[in-house]
Chain A
Amino acid sequence: MRYVAPSTLEEASAFLVDANGNGRVLAGGTDLLVQLRAGMANPDTIVDVKHIDELMTIKEEADGIRIGAAVCGQAMGEHAGLNNTWPGLVEATELIGSTQVQGRASAGGNLCNASPAADSVPAMIAAGAMISVYGPDGHRELAVENFATAPGKTNLKEGELITSIKLPKPAEHSGDAYLRMTPRTEMDIAIVGLGVALTLDSEGTVTAARVGLGAVAPTAMLVKEAGDALVGSKLDDEALERAAEACRKACNPINDKRGTIEYRTKIAGVLLKRVAKIAAERAGS
């Protein structure tokens, strides 16, 4: 097993190409090292990307905030600009693991691990985040909801890696929030995770809304119908119930050690109502 720590994107991509499908990117390592120990992963080459500046910085740009793919959750949690604009995403990221894990685990890693239950992903989907990818064919961009294709699988091609995640600048009177259901209060995996980002007009009517839903299908997803159900409403019970129903309908979960189909489906609706209210409160304040 070879460990390499390139300082440029070009080198990193070349190492991955050389590894011929047996290379793994190491950012925080909170998923990869566990898989190595359990014998679930056995790569020939480990490409540590923490020496590539672009992947390690949070940058405020004119039209939003760009988060380097290997920036850890702790750094995101301490970033004032991010907290002001996307508090829901920060909350979601800070739910990942323990304090120790927070100092290592990255949003990029959370995306690449492609767990349907990844906490930061529904929040990123709700926020309308875009992923920047670099590879042998240069740069490309895609929406977060289009990134994972199945549990543990992404549409990254050979030699590609995520460089950053771009969060748009929210419109006036916008807010986002994320909640998850876990039996324990922390150190647990979401049975359902749900993020909402919405915008209100001066009357308090929802003018735009996006709902990201995780842990209830093979990948986290955008539930467009749920967002649409909120638009035009003041989050009255009827609108909330329609959005909740859209979330329940979008569920395609499995029965497993973490939850049942029935429970997961029910909770998706419960969380939609709770999260939408928090997001609206933030948008109004």
Chain B
Amino acid sequence: MAEKTYKWVGTRQPRPDGADKVTGRARFGADFDMPGQLVGKVLRSPHAHANIRSIDTSKAEALPGVKAVMTSADMPDMPDEMAPAGEVMVNLRDVTRNVMAREKALYDGHAVAAVAATTEAIARQALALIEVDYEVLPHVIDVDQAVAEGAPILHENLRTKNVDGAEDTLTNVAARIQFTKGDMDSGWSQADVVIEHAFTTKPVHQGYIEPHAAVASTTEDGQVQLWCSTQGQFNVRGYCAKLLGMETSQIRVTPSEIGGGFGGKTVVYGEPLAIKLSQKAGKPVKIVMTREEVFRGSGPTAAGAMDVKLGATKDGRIVAADLNIRMQAGAFPGAPVGPACMCSFACYDIDNINVVGFDVVSNRPKVAAYRAPGSPVAAWGVESAINMLAEKLGMDQLELRIKNAAREGTKTHYGPTFKDIGMAATLDAAKNSPHYQTPLKPGQGRGVAVGFWFNIGMDSSAACHVGEDGTVTLISGSPDIGGSRASLALMAAEELGVDYQKIRPIVADTASIGFNFLTGGSRVTFATGMAVVQAVREAIDELRARAAKLWEVDVEAVIWEDGCAKPAGSNVGDFEPLSLAEIAVNAGKTGGPINGHAQLNAQGAGPGFGAQIYDVSVDQDTGHVTVDRCTVVQDVGTAIHPDYVEGQLQGGVVQGIGWALNEEYIYNDKGQLENTGFLDYRMPVASDLPMIEPIIVEVPNPNHPYGVRGVGEVPIVPPMAAIGNAIAGATGIRMTDLPMSPPKLSAAIDAARVSEAADD
């Protein structure tokens, strides 16, 4: 494929938000304040599962300084059906119950009431005065226990979708889904070697540094302004409008700078409560979660329990693959079991596949998206089993993956047939990497795993405004969580042929730009990037038209090149090129402002594939794992801003290392979360990490003007299994339950020693 050369795309330019962030000027969610603003605080259930018999707020309301108190009675109930809110299909009955419990509290930390008061101290005092009469019920935390017979039932109305005869059965299983390809019996009959094993993961939190924060200001004529930290201001608008019975045009949502989201800021928690409290109090209300509230009340990612079975021929051709996965959704249905099932075997070209998944509720916070939701969970089981297969076959772990890699023409078990994908190129790059070519040191183990994410397109709008001095404001509605402003500006600079620094990208509020679906699914540089390119091209067409007017020639006779309008050929006439600035300064005389706009539903997102290599050392006495070296290889299509791309790859790995080694929710026997802070919810710190070496593979996505695929999600898919595989290499011990924390690994090492001694 011919290499395209670009002037701006692919260069490492200063980030547009850099100066604000390093000087502390950037305004995050909690940095916004309004005159007369009240402090909103949320009362949360101390019980994992309880009927709410009654809530008495009278004492709180009587406390001087309290301006409003609310419960679920202040919001309309919603029907039990899927409905669109900001283009996400959600069950509003569940959403309204998640932001504020109605008949039941379903997890420790579930919001049950909220107050707005003049000070935080008064607000806290008011919470203590609210009397909730709970009838405590038996609870269930673990996913397989929630499925078991006799488990406490969370929702009387829940029935298992897609299962015949389930209409009469109370259950915690919200849905069963299945994907099949080929013929399993035939697959197993071809297999010389079969691996079968069970694996589990723990829910993990996205761990964004910035807690959720929102300020709502309402007026007597029903208008609402909301400032909040979110990955999707239009989705917040949609949710709040539905939950509060308002029209979307009445709500104007401005996204703040965002201190991390990773998928966790795609839903609402305090936002509708702040609006309701503001409406009741007649003053602006600000709700900022504490870290404890973030852990107890906001979505982690789903965990899963799964059984994986693989069959292969002697020469290492995988002929059958089976996965049964139960995923915990938290208190309401909606675990990412679909993506987990679809991603599970997407890296491989296997003829016979059967995948069954279950969406299971239990007494924990409702899950939210987290980087490639579902895919890392399935990959933990599948990629561990692939290594077990390699061990049994006596094959190199990377060679087995290369032999079975998905390629152009591979038909997936969930439907699509792959074209133009980079799985094989990624594996080759991994194999040829300095890391894979370097022998291990004594005591070390090496693990490899691969990962997949679809990447998505969806709706985006963008505008390109040319200023009178020829500089450009680039407006999108996509919150920048991973460097999208810089990437969008680079593509605009490339199109316009002007210096990157002449382009100022901003993220606009819901009233200042057309609809943008939320920042998620690794869609923004792809989809909003397409909208930006279209908008800029529209502006360029206008710039050409103005030059044509000045030169009194047809617009077709004017081309745009190197930031200037030029005659298309010598026959057009002898005109000096007109720069963007020269055209802009005369815009008033040639037809008025020069802008470009675009809105589209982006099609053709490019699937993303990655491979990662880890070397680890294990302290055999303590079970402590040190990651000595890590290389992350990924096909990103085109790296528009390589620094940001590398940052995404490294960031996903860091979160994956935490998921692999230490992160977990610790519940007591009452179902209360015990580790509600970063001290005991152990995300890695810098000294826990090696230098993470990124290798960017570029197989351009033909559906995007610059070949963009998504980047941000694939990197969190392989780490857990790759580290488990490395630990197996270092110790001979196959860990099957996450996290592979020192006490667990130490116990496994000791058990292996005992069993070895018994064998001797």
Give the contacting residue for A188; candidates B621, B682, B741, B746; CB below 8 A: B682
In chain B, residues 660-682, which have Cβ atoms closer than 8 Å to a Cβ of chain A? 661-662, 666, 674-675, 679-680, 682
Binds B, one of A24-32, A52-60, A118-126, A178-186: A178-186
Give the contacting residue for A186; candidates B124, B624, B687; CB below 8 A: B687
Give the contacting residue for A257; candidates B621, B680, B685, B742; CB below 8 A: B680
Chain A residue nearest in CB terms to B739: A183
Docked Cα-Cα span, A108 to B493, in Å, equals 59
Across-interface contacts of B662 in A (CB, < 8 A): 183-184
With an 8 Å Cβ cutoff, the count of chain B residues facing the other chain is: 22
Give the contacting residue for A259; candidates B124, B661, B685, B743; CB below 8 A: B743
Contact A183 B682 (CB under 8 A): yes
Across-interface contacts of B746 in A (CB, < 8 A): 263, 266
Give the contacting residue for A185; candidates B666, B675, B687; CB below 8 A: B687
Docked Cα-Cα span, A259 to B662, in Å, equals 12
Q: Return A222 CB to nearest CB of chain B, in Å.
A: 24
Provide a sorted-by-A list of 5 A–B residue pairs whose CB atoms are within 8 angstroms. A181-B622, A189-B680, A257-B666, A260-B743, A270-B621
A51 at the interface (CB under 8 A from B): no
Contact A183 B624 (CB under 8 A): yes
Across-interface contacts of A257 in B (CB, < 8 A): 666, 674-675, 680
A150 at the interface (CB under 8 A from B): no
A187 at the interface (CB under 8 A from B): yes
A258 at the interface (CB under 8 A from B): yes
Contact B741 A183 (CB under 8 A): yes
Docked Cα-Cα span, A266 to B679, in Å, equals 23
Across-interface contacts of A258 in B (CB, < 8 A): 680
B55 at the interface (CB under 8 A from A): no
Q: Return A267 CB to nearest CB of chain B, in Å.
A: 6
Docked Cα-Cα span, A183 to B741, in Å, equals 7
Instruction: Produce 1/0 per residue, B551-588, CB < 8 A to A.
Output: 00000000000000000000000000000000000000
Docked Cα-Cα span, A259 to B682, in Å, equals 13
Across-interface contacts of B684 in A (CB, < 8 A): 184
Q: Return B42 CB to nearest CB of chain A, in Å.
A: 15
B183 at the interface (CB under 8 A from A): no
Q: Return B674 CB to nearest CB of chain A, in Å.
A: 5
Q: Return A117 CB to nearest CB of chain B, in Å.
A: 11
A residues contacting B by CB (< 8 A) are: 39, 181, 183-189, 191, 256-260, 262-263, 266-267, 270
Instruction: Produce 1/0 per residue, B729-744, CB < 8 A to A.
Output: 0000000000001110
Across-interface contacts of B743 in A (CB, < 8 A): 259-260, 262-263
Give the contacting residue for A187; candidates B621, B622, B674, B685; CB below 8 A: B685
Q: Return B291 CB to nearest CB of chain A, in Å.
A: 10
Docked Cα-Cα span, A187 to B684, in Å, equals 9
Q: Return B669 CB to nearest CB of chain A, in Å.
A: 11
Docked Cα-Cα span, A184 to B684, in Å, equals 7
Contact B685 A263 (CB under 8 A): no
Docked Cα-Cα span, A146 to B743, in Å, equals 31
Across-interface contacts of B747 in A (CB, < 8 A): 262-263
* A-B contacts besides A183-B682, A187-B685, 20 pairs, CB < 8 Å: A181-B624, A183-B624, A183-B662, A183-B741, A184-B682, A184-B684, A185-B687, A186-B685, A187-B679, A189-B679, A189-B680, A256-B674, A257-B666, A257-B674, A260-B743, A262-B743, A263-B743, A263-B746, A263-B747, A267-B622
Docked Cα-Cα span, A83 to B492, in Å, equals 58
B420 at the interface (CB under 8 A from A): no
B688 at the interface (CB under 8 A from A): yes
Chain B residue nearest in CB terms to A181: B622
Q: Return A33 CB to nearest CB of chain B, in Å.
A: 15
Docked Cα-Cα span, A262 to B751, in Å, equals 13
Q: Return A214 CB to nearest CB of chain B, in Å.
A: 16
Contact A188 B679 (CB under 8 A): yes
CB-CB nearest 9 A-B residue pairs: A263-B743, A185-B687, A257-B666, A270-B621, A257-B674, A183-B662, A187-B685, A257-B675, A185-B688
Across-interface contacts of A270 in B (CB, < 8 A): 621-622
Chain A residue nearest in CB terms to B684: A184
Docked Cα-Cα span, A238 to B674, in Å, equals 40
Chain A residue nearest in CB terms to B664: A257
Across-interface contacts of A260 in B (CB, < 8 A): 743
Docked Cα-Cα span, A39 to B685, in Å, equals 27
Docked Cα-Cα span, A260 to B742, in Å, equals 11
Q: Return A202 CB to nearest CB of chain B, in Å.
A: 32
Docked Cα-Cα span, A191 to B682, in Å, equals 13
In chain B, residues 633-685, which have Cβ atoms closer than 8 Å to a Cβ of chain A? 661-662, 666, 674-675, 679-680, 682, 684-685
Q: Return A110 CB to nearest CB of chain B, in Å.
A: 16
Docked Cα-Cα span, A257 to B680, in Å, equals 7
Contact A185 B685 (CB under 8 A): yes
Docked Cα-Cα span, A181 to B675, in Å, equals 19
Q: Return A273 CB to nearest CB of chain B, in Å.
A: 9
Give the contacting residue for A263; candidates B679, B682, B687, B742; CB below 8 A: B742
In chain B, residues 597-655, which have Cβ atoms closer than 8 Å to a Cβ of chain A? 621-622, 624
Q: Return A38 CB to nearest CB of chain B, in Å.
A: 8
Q: Return B349 CB to nearest CB of chain A, in Å.
A: 39
Docked Cα-Cα span, A191 to B742, in Å, equals 11
Across-interface contacts of A262 in B (CB, < 8 A): 743, 747
Chain B residue nearest in CB terms to A273: B621
In chain B, residues 309-349, which have Cβ atoms closer than 8 Å to a Cβ of chain A? none
Instruction: Produce 1/0 per residue, B705-749, CB < 8 A to A.
Output: 000000000000000000000000000000000000111001100
Docked Cα-Cα span, A258 to B743, in Å, equals 10
Q: Return A275 CB to nearest CB of chain B, in Å.
A: 13
Across-interface contacts of A188 in B (CB, < 8 A): 679, 682
Docked Cα-Cα span, A39 to B124, in Å, equals 10
Docked Cα-Cα span, A183 to B687, in Å, equals 12
Across-interface contacts of A267 in B (CB, < 8 A): 622
Chain B residue nearest in CB terms to A39: B124
Chain B residue nearest in CB terms to A189: B679
Chain B residue nearest in CB terms to A259: B743
Docked Cα-Cα span, A185 to B746, in Å, equals 17
Docked Cα-Cα span, A267 to B682, in Å, equals 19
Among B674, B679, B747, which residue has the most Cβ atoms of chain A within 10 A?
A: B679
Chain A residue nearest in CB terms to B685: A187
Chain A residue nearest in CB terms to B742: A183
Q: Return B124 CB to nearest CB of chain A, in Å.
A: 8
Chain A residue nearest in CB terms to B746: A263
Across-interface contacts of B622 in A (CB, < 8 A): 181, 267, 270
Q: Return A216 CB to nearest CB of chain B, in Å.
A: 14
Give the contacting residue for A184; candidates B674, B688, B750; CB below 8 A: B688
Q: Return B692 CB to nearest CB of chain A, in Å.
A: 16
Chain A residue nearest in CB terms to B668: A257
Docked Cα-Cα span, A270 to B675, in Å, equals 27
Chain B residue nearest in CB terms to A98: B685
Docked Cα-Cα span, A256 to B669, in Å, equals 12
Q: Return B509 CB to nearest CB of chain A, in Å.
A: 33
Across-interface contacts of A191 in B (CB, < 8 A): 742
Chain A residue nearest in CB terms to B661: A183
Give the contacting residue for B685; candidates A181, A184, A256; CB below 8 A: A184
Docked Cα-Cα span, A260 to B746, in Å, equals 12
Docked Cα-Cα span, A148 to B621, in Å, equals 30
Docked Cα-Cα span, A257 to B684, in Å, equals 17
Docked Cα-Cα span, A258 to B682, in Å, equals 10
Across-interface contacts of B685 in A (CB, < 8 A): 184-187
Across-interface contacts of A266 in B (CB, < 8 A): 746, 750
Docked Cα-Cα span, A186 to B674, in Å, equals 21
Docked Cα-Cα span, A211 to B601, in Å, equals 68
Among A191, A258, A262, which residue has the most Cβ atoms of chain B within 10 A?
A: A258
Docked Cα-Cα span, A189 to B747, in Å, equals 21
Chain A residue nearest in CB terms to B689: A185
Docked Cα-Cα span, A259 to B746, in Å, equals 12
Docked Cα-Cα span, A188 to B661, in Å, equals 14
Q: Return B463 CB to nearest CB of chain A, in Å.
A: 43
Q: Return A166 CB to nearest CB of chain B, in Å.
A: 31
Q: Return A99 CB to nearest CB of chain B, in Å.
A: 11
Docked Cα-Cα span, A39 to B687, in Å, equals 32
Docked Cα-Cα span, A186 to B687, in Å, equals 7
